Structure 1
């Protein structure tokens, strides 16, 4: 496994475990609108290494483990880190934009960064499929990616957990745009997938515009 990928997964596991066992540490580093607007911008970064529980951590790290090698193989380590961190930041910024007036809003998770890597990998290898032990047939990666964001819309509407669903979209936008900037020829070579992956992103902003979120 790639050293950079191991390091990122290790940081997520260590930081999350610390959060599981130390509530003061968790509260100090979670994404909290009131604290961020009071000047604690570091939370926009640190919150992306915290998770709600082991299941939340495993799902994000499993997704990263499955899709990161595609990005690394096609674009290299530097671009992989750029997409991961750029998507992380994009997720936090979009969350801040959507919830800027909700001073009590809290969220955690690497979802923004991971979704950025997911979207990047699908753009780079649109024919890839996933094999999951509970589903006996291969799942096209783009179906998984789009479903992931549609689930995020549900999570944003339900507002019944502490997971940063809005960050999924910011991360998707970050990974989408950075990858296209790195490989602009995909606009003509992979036009259908570029358009298809934009659909849930556009849907999010349409729902927000008409007040359905």
Structure 2
């Protein structure tokens, strides 16, 4: 193994063992949407911060000489997802809460400048509704449960002690849910009345009920003991 390979392996290991973005001994750079930022040479780990609303599709595009790892963290500081590559690296995620997010760039060629760009796409009401708290594990009636993305922003799976179901966004105000491998299906519509937002669930046999929706409220009841569980279903418990 040559010297360059060894150095890059050490860099990779260092990035993997970082407990969170705060471990990087560098200042935090605030990012604005659609505003390219050119980072000067000199540092190997750079930390960025941006604020976004629930359901926003955020894309971080890093144009960098050589290899680099781009990592996005949850507002609590957990590693949410990471992409490794060279030259042009793109990390895209649908955000599970309205909050401040942090991203880090670990690069091999610290003596050369590179560019960072944040691109965001605002969600529809249904996309925001489905995205809320995806990636977190929690307790439901005292049993472990979690939500994860099968197809970020479009198809989400919910797993509980009683089974699992898949929710697919099919329109700006409508989603469809299937239960396990069965033929059971339901549709959910978002409706506004009396100054509030409500989700109207309609089962295959025509029965329906409404529940209040609070997109800006707490993600969980404190008794649910939320924890980060994995962004994609392939990475979740």
Q: What TM-score, normalized by structure 1, do the two folds share?
A: 0.26
Larger proportion of strand? 2
Q: What TM-score, normalized by structure 2, do the two folds share?
A: 0.24
Larger proportion of helix? 1
Higher relative contact order (CA 8 A, sep 6+): 1
Greater Rg, structure 1 or structure 2?
A: 2
